[in-house]
């Protein structure tokens, strides 16, 4: 019985550490901080959260030199702009999703079919990273309440774009090429970079 309580406490502490790392990562991405990336492109906007319907925000397309990969599934185009290995033992993948169709998109087909993640609605809870060399699949991280450490989409209107992110357990050191997969989007090869 003591072992079970110890393991539950360790899991809770690990989830809290991951959530704290996520908050620090998101907070670190918000300001220019005078780093080199801010100097390279003064026209690039940082991802902003949407309080309304997610479709009213018209984000600029990421600059060509920052695009790691692009994939398309029907009218939906996904651009991956970052796949960074963080010190906390996880990988944060981020980018933009653009709706090129004539009706609003909610991301419903991207949600996980796991019971624990069922309450996340239209989100990246069904995303995964696949390490073909190591023959492993890494599912999106979640907190102790069953919320994925990923973007939960509102409505993306026709022609609209919105920023997204998802966090995964980090593959072993030395693994720097993985495939990003979500919904019926074709597997997309990306290279992981080291966090600062």
pLDDT band, residue 164 (cuts 50/70/90)? very high
Which residues are CB-neighbours of 182 under 8 A, at least 6 positions away? Answer: 78, 110, 124, 126, 127, 128, 166
Of 41 and 126, the one with more pLDDT: 126
Classified as helix, coil or strand, 108 is helix
Residue 11 has pLDDT above 70, yes or no: no
Q: What is the pLDDT of residue 34?
A: 44
Ramachandran region of residue 164, left (φ > 0), alpha (ψ -120 to 50) or beta? beta
Express each pLDDT in 76-120 by its tens digit.
999 999 999 988 889 999 999 999 999 988 877 777 767 666 666
Write down the pLDDT at residue 144. 83
């Amino acid at each position: 019985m003591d072992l079970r309580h110890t393991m539950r406490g360790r899991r809770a502490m690990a989830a809290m550490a991951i959530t704290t790392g996520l908050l620090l990562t998101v907070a670190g991405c918000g300001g220019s901080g005078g780093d080199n990336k801010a100097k390279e492109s003064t026209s690039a906007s940082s991802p902003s959260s949407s309080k309304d319907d997610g479709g009213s925000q018209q984000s600029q397309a990421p600059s060509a030199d920052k695009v790691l990969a692009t994939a398309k599934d029907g009218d939906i185009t996904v651009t991956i702009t970052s796949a960074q290995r963080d010190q906390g033992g996880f990988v944060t993948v981020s980018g933009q999703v653009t709706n090129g169709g004539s009706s609003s998109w909610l991301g419903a087909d991207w949600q996980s079919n796991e019971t624990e993640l069922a309450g996340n609605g239209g989100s990246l809870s069904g995303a995964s990273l696949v390490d073909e060399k190591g023959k492993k699949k890494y599912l999106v991280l979640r907190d102790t309440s069953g919320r994925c450490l990923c973007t939960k989409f509102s409505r993306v209107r026709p022609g609209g774009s919105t920023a997204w992110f998802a966090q995964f357990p980090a593959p072993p050191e030395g693994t720097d090429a993985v495939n990003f997969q979500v919904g019926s989007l074709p597997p997309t090869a990306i290279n992981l970079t080291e966090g600062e």
